[in-house]
Chain A
Amino acid sequence: MSIINLWYYMNGYIIISIRGSRSERLINLAINQGIILRDIRRFDNIAYMKVDIEGFKKLRPLARRTRCRVKIEKKAGIPFFIYRLTVRRGFVAGAVLFIFLLYLLSSFVWFVEIVGTEDIEPRQVSEISRELGLKPGAFKNTLNLEKISNEIVLRISDISWAGIEITGTRAKVEIVEKVKGEGPGEKGYSHIIASKEGLITDIMVISGMAEAAAGDTVTAGQVLISGILRPDPPEFEAEEEMAPDEGSVRKDYVRARGTVKARVWYEGLGVSTLQVKKYEPTGNYYTSSYIKIGDKEIFTEGDGQNPFDYARLNQSKRTLRWRNFKLPVEVVHLQYNELSLLQKELTPEEALEKAALQAEEEARRQLSSPVEILEEYKEILDTEDEQLIEVRYVIETIEEIGKEKPMVLDN
């Protein structure tokens, strides 16, 4: 649409048809009167043209004079459109109401989303923001986002920064949690406990009290270096005598530090029988498909039954969905691939090798990567069954087993 057409549209125009053989004369008369006619075309004996509103008024007496019949075919343009709107008031009111409602509803917050929380429950943040006024249904303009985000940071001590961003009707609360510092000087007492079972070979205490000594066998979770400093027993007695009214002795708490090295064993068990069953695909397959509507199954191909003795079933489903709405109709395609059973006899040596390999793999899987391996050995276990061979594989390592565990204090 060019600019000039837009101009015509704004001023309004009428498409008229003129019947009569002397329409040339009417056109010439109209031009002399200063009436602007556009897009004049003639089919058979009817001429069609466009004329503006003022021109149409002037055209009427001329048409009478030339004995032409002028008929309005179409009225187009903004003046006619406005006139039609004044007639259809209900429609206009509805349109205005719609725009108003759209604006009104989009000026509320409808969704509150909390992102960035790791240890803090998102619900805790959403409850606080709800108290501060940021909740579904809150008016966007009345929210003081800066104040709310500052308040969230103040209320929850583990948050170091909070930012609120409103996009459309969605408020996104971005939380940055405090990284818990564990450097010296940080408040927080802890023990060092064993992370796994082992035999302690070496223990070195930097702070705290050793609870285990080299040569001790410890279980996972046992305290190795305590963060509670108790006075030595002789002093303890003396102190008790000196201050019997105090009830309990004074304890000092520290963050226990030190290294604990231990021998750790990793075991893997491998089992093998002399007869091995093996399935191999033969290449034959049988396909079947059906449409599932609710609980009903309508087969379009085959009957869905497995015709083979041994088969592996491949099932693929296709569901119809539109956005999050899932139609209860699915197309299921089944394919049974036939398998043949191969019985294989193993020699005792082969079976042993297989069991040993399996055991070793299992043992190695348990290793945490950078450890010092001291010794590896395997042993064949006695089983009553001759067909069954069991192998145990042991890896012995020396590694650091100490793990820091924060202490929970009552006061």
Chain B
Amino acid sequence: MNFKKNFRSSLADAFELPKEILLDLPRVTLVGNVQMYVQNHKGVVEYSDNVIRVSISGGELIIKGEDLTIKNIYSEEIFINGLINHLEYAV
């Protein structure tokens, strides 16, 4: 498994391919601290006003802040609005 991942990573490096496709990684875009955009997620684990936990391949993305709202959610994408104070990548 580890060997497979390394192979893919080096493949992506060699051919300059986007890693999120080959490695099934999430692509996170932040607009200041007010908007967040996660592609390639695996579902919502927990959400409330202050905390949103998004499942991603190989871990979890923990967003802490105030007035957090899931603006839109699709099977591959999630938009989050609100004041983002804290972003944690839990493996």
| Interface residues of A, Cβ cutoff 8 Å to B | 24, 27-28, 31-32, 34, 36-43, 47, 49
Contact = CB atoms under 8 A, between A and B. Distances in A.
Interface in B65-86: 68-75
Interface of B: 43-49, 68-75
10 contacts: A24-B43, A27-B44, A28-B44, A31-B75, A34-B75, A36-B74, A40-B47, A40-B70, A41-B69, A42-B47
Instruction: Pick from A28, A36, A40 the residue with the most CB of B within 10 Å.
Output: A40
Instruction: Pick from B45, B69, B71, B73 the residue with the most CB of A within 10 Å.
Output: B73
Contact of A40 (B45, B46, B69): B69
A40 B49 contact: no
Contacts of B49: 41-43
B74 A31 contact: yes
Contacts of A34: 75
A36 B74 CA distance: 6
Given A41-B49, A43-B49, A24 B44 contact: yes
Contacts of A47: 47
A42 B69 CA distance: 8
Contact of B73 (A40, A41, A42, A43): A40
A56 to B, nearest CB: 15
Instruction: Pick from A31, A37, A47 the residue with the most CB of B within 10 Å.
Output: A31
A31 to B, nearest CB: 5
Nearest to B67: A41
Contact of B70 (A32, A39, A43): A39
B73 A27 contact: yes
B70 A37 contact: yes
A36 B69 CA distance: 15
Contacts of B45: 24
A34 B69 CA distance: 20
Nearest to A29: B43
Given A31-B43, A42-B48, A42-B49, A37 B75 contact: no
A38 B75 contact: no
Nearest to B69: A41
Nearest to A40: B70
Contacts of A31: 43, 73-75
A38 B74 contact: no
A38 B46 CA distance: 16
A32 B75 contact: yes
A28 B73 CA distance: 9
Contacts of B72: 36-38
Contacts of A38: 71-73
Contacts of A39: 69-71
B85 to A, nearest CB: 17
Contacts of A40: 47, 69-70, 73
